[in-house]
Amino acid sequence: MKVGIIGATGYGGLELIRFLYNHKEVERLELFTSSEEGTLFSSKFPHLANMYEQPLQKIDYDVLSQFDVVFASTPSGVSTDLFPPLVNRGPKLIDLSGDFRLKNPDSYETWYKKTPPPPEIVEASVYGLTEWNERAIKEAALIANPGCYPTAVLLSLLPLIKEKCIDPSFLIIDAKSGISGAGNKPSQTTHYSEANESLSIYKINEHQHIPEIEQAISMFAGVETKISFNTHLVPMTRGILSTSYAQVMPGITQKQLTDCLQAAYEHQPFVRVVEDATSVGTNRVKGSNYCDVFAKLDERTGRATIIGVIDNLVKGAAGQAIQNMNVQMNLPQTLGLQVVPLFI
């Protein structure tokens, strides 16, 4: 396969490269840039010396249309303009940004504060939460890869909502992310001296992933709900841990919660159900495409604490995007993605 990456110099792009390097069906991988045409990739990223000795190319539709797959790992608003001319012109398209995820254009405008993409293209795009949408992903011309937080939240909550183990009306979700979630562009909040030794909450009640999570709960569990969702910045590089609190339905036991998660993911290679634990951390999945999920009943309150843990750059971005490419191309989901997490 011939694969192109737009936004190869960003964090998501670098992770795509890291996994596609070991993907045995990828014969050619070409890298595209909006700002550094001609720069030798390995001179910009010396950790790739002897691996990517090629110059970055300018974004050119005639060139891109000859690829089998094109990933865009670019800031929101970019693929809104970049992708439409490529739809149904040859390559399968996978967008890592939020541009094609929200089906309602008003919602995109409200939460992303940007002009939405053409409605017919959003309509035809497929939400790439692999474990829940495999059949549609297989046929998709354009995949909207899920956001990092929604991946952790949805994989842990969807089975329990769908099987009526928890009450979906009062979901409270508290999520925490490492700083690479904010991308490679430095900002005041990600500045080392302000992020290090500090834990902060941000975008309070205003995070752009709120409508994405609500839309997916409706799409995959058939439930309309409004969630309380907040995000925190943790002084570490990678990882997301989401903690959700929900009332369990009358009579639901710990065993039923665990069984429900296990039944949902029995045949899924990248979702692991944690059976019993006193602690769960991002080091269980770091550098890998795994999502670990865990639900623990609090008998005293009748509420469950539900955990999802991922590496934001892998299952939350590049890894899931490659998993989706594998599904689209009729390949085993795991191709190129089988690595052991970096526990220490």
Ligand X SMILES: CC(=O)N[C@@H](CCC(=O)OP(=O)(O)O)C(=O)O
Ligand Y SMILES: NC(=O)C1=CN([C@@H]2O[C@H](COP(=O)(O)OP(=O)(O)OC[C@H]3O[C@@H](n4cnc5c(N)ncnc54)[C@H](OP(=O)(O)O)[C@@H]3O)[C@@H](O)[C@H]2O)C=CC1
Q: How far is the CB of 96 from ligand Y (least distance, A)?
A: 4
For residue 116, the partner it binds in ligand Y, ligand X, none, with Cβ less than 5 to 8 A by kind, is none
Q: Which residues contact 267 (CB under 8 A, 6 or more apart)?
A: none
Closest among 223, 92, 205, 237 to 163, alpha carbons compared:
223
Minimum CB separation from ligand X for residue 184, in Å? Answer: 12
Rounded Cα–Cα distance for residues 149 and 325 (Å): 20
Residue nearer to ligand X on the CB measure, 133 or 177: 177
Q: Which is nearer to ligand Y, 95 or 167 (CB)?
A: 95
Q: State how far the alpha carbon of 300 is from the alpha carbons of 42, 269, 304, in Å.
A: 57, 34, 10
55 binds ligand Y, rule: CB under 6 A: no
Candidate segments 9-17, 104-112, 274-282, 287-295, binder of ligand Y by CB under 6 A: 9-17
Size of site (CB under 6 A) for ligand Y: 29
Q: Could you tell me the smallest distance in angstroms from the CB atom of residue 296 to ligand X?
A: 26
CA distance 181 to 231: 11
d(CA 10, CA 181): 11
Residue spans of alpha helices (H) in the chain: 11-20, 41-44, 61-64, 78-82, 105-112, 119-124, 130-139, 148-162, 192-195, 209-221, 254-265, 319-328
CB of 177 to ligand X, least distance (A): 4
Question: Residue 188 binds what, of ligand X, ligand Y, none (CB under 5 to 8 Å, by partner type)?
Answer: none
User: Using the rule CB under 6 A, is 128 a contact of ligand Y?
Assistant: no
Q: Is 74 in the site for ligand Y (CB under 6 A)?
A: yes
3-state secondary structure of 53: coil
Binding site for ligand X (CB under 6 A): 76, 97-98, 147-148, 177, 181-182, 208-209, 231, 233
Nearest to 308 by CA among 185, 170, 213: 213
Amino acid at 116: P
In the bound state, the residue with its beta carbon closest to ligand X is: 181
Within 312-341, the residues that bind ligand Y by CB under 6 A are 312-313, 316-317
- Active site (annotated) includes residue 148: yes
Catalytically annotated residues: 148
Question: What residue ranges bind ligand Y (CB under 6 A)?
Answer: 6-7, 9-13, 33-36, 73-76, 78, 96-97, 147-148, 180-181, 183-185, 312-313, 316-317
